[in-house]
């Protein structure tokens, strides 16, 4: 263990891994947010990174959320409640909209910010055993503040979101899968390996086409079919004639698996 709030690794297959380094609680401290903010900027501008995993050290908890002992000093340093929470909302939005797929692992406690951050990721995988996932801010006399209520409602619908938030519920991985909060459930011992494998699969897909689809389907539930068709057509213009499109066509003709992301 070192004193860095996050461990960051880049792999040769186009996958980066961000791991919270505060085992066992993996709190989202002020230092954590500052470092994550910088890493998101770095990943967004690094063409070698085509997908990334957000996880945590150890196997106890993904995150119990922010360190509440830092709340008062953090708000003061930020210049008020709004700029303090806006930084966190904007950070999650940047993850959500950067055009690179992300995979979050949910295990142990995934509470407050420990759920709000994964809600901004493309895929969420949960542990089959031991996960306790929720937005328990009601127990503190307040409400979610990092965009959790909005993203949870978009993800699972108003009824499930209100059931979780108003009752301060902590749900299991299997329940999260049932209501559509996570994409897959795996035994805890396999969870991180599966997340890395999924990120590697996504990183091997054609980069421009992945970005086009992430852009086209962002907030798709709030857009008309005509808007989605226009976004899809933008993806066609972005990718047609690209190196990956040529490689895909040649691989089809030659009856082999395509190897994408070798050129521009």
Annotated active-site residue 190? The verdict is no
pLDDT value at position 264? Answer: 54
- Active site residue: 72, 116, 175, 201, which one? 116
Report yes or no on 259 lying in a domain.
Answer: no
Annotated active-site residue 137? The verdict is yes
- Active site residue: 137, 226, 247, 254, which one? 137
Q: Which domain range does residue 133 map to?
A: 6-203
Q: Does residue 78 share a domain with residue 173?
A: yes
Q: Does residue 58 share a domain with residue 140?
A: yes
Q: Does residue 147 share a domain with residue 102?
A: yes
What confidence tens digit (pLDDT) does each residue in 87-125 have?
A: 999 999 999 999 999 999 999 999 999 999 999 999 999
Q: What is the C-alpha to C-alpha distance for residues 239 and 97, in angstroms, rounded to an integer? A: 19
Q: Does residue 212 share a domain with residue 126?
A: no
**Number of alpha carbons in the 13 Å side-chain half-sphere of residue 258:** 20
pTM: 0.95
Banded model confidence at residue 177, pLDDT cuts 50, 70, 90: very high
Classify the C-alpha dihedral 234-156-125-167 as positive or negative.
positive
Q: Does residue 148 share a domain with residue 245?
A: no
Pairing mode, strands 6-10 and 109-111? unpaired
Q: Where are the alpha helices (DSSP H) in 69-204?
A: 71-78, 81-97, 113-119, 148-156, 158-166, 173-178, 188-203
Report helix, strand or coil for 19: strand
How many domains, the chain? 2
Report yes or no on 264 lying in a domain.
Answer: no
257 burial (CB, 10 Å; 0-12 / 13-18 / 19+) is exposed
Report yes or no on 261 lying in a domain.
Answer: no
**CATH number for 40:** 3.90.226.10
Q: Does residue 247 share a domain with residue 195?
A: no
Report yes or no on 167 lying in a domain.
Answer: yes
At 134, list the tokens.
């929720």
Banded model confidence at residue 144, pLDDT cuts 50, 70, 90: very high
Q: Does residue 126 share a domain with residue 44?
A: yes
Q: Does residue 189 share a domain with residue 114?
A: yes
At 52, list the tokens.
């990334």
């Amino acid at each position: 263990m070192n004193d860095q709030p996050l461990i960051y690794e880049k792999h040769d297959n186009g996958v980066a891994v961000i791991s919270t380094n505060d085992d066992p609680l993996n709190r989202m401290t002020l230092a954590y947010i500052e470092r994550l903010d910088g890493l998101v900027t770095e990943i967004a501008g690094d063409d070698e990174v085509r997908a990334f995993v957000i996880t945590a050290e150890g196997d106890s908890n993904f995150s119990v959320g922010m360190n509440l002992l830092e709340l008062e000093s953090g708000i003061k340093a930020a210049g008020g409640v709004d700029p303090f929470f806006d930084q966190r909302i904007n950070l999650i939005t940047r993850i959500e909209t950067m055009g690179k797929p992300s995979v979050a692992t949910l295990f142990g406690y995934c509470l407050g910010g420990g759920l709000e951050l994964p809600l901004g990721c493309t895929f969420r995988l949960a542990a089959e055993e031991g996960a306790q996932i929720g937005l328990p801010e009601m127990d503190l006399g307040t409400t979610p503040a990092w965009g959790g209520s909005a993203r949870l409602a978009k993800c699972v619908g108003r009824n499930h979101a209100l059931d979780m938030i108003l009752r301060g519920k902590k749900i299991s991985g299997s329940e999260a899968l049932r209501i559509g909060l996570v994409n897959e459930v795996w035994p805890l011992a396999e969870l991180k390996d599966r997340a890395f494998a999924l990120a590697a699969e996504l990183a091997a897909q054609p980069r421009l086409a992945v970005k086009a689809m992430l852009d086209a389907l962002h907030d798709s539930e709030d857009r008309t079919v005509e808007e989605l068709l226009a976004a899809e057509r933008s993806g066609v213009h972005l990718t047609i004639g690209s190196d990956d499109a040529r490689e895909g066509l040649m691989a089809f003709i030659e009856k082999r698996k395509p190897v994408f992301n070798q050129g521009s």
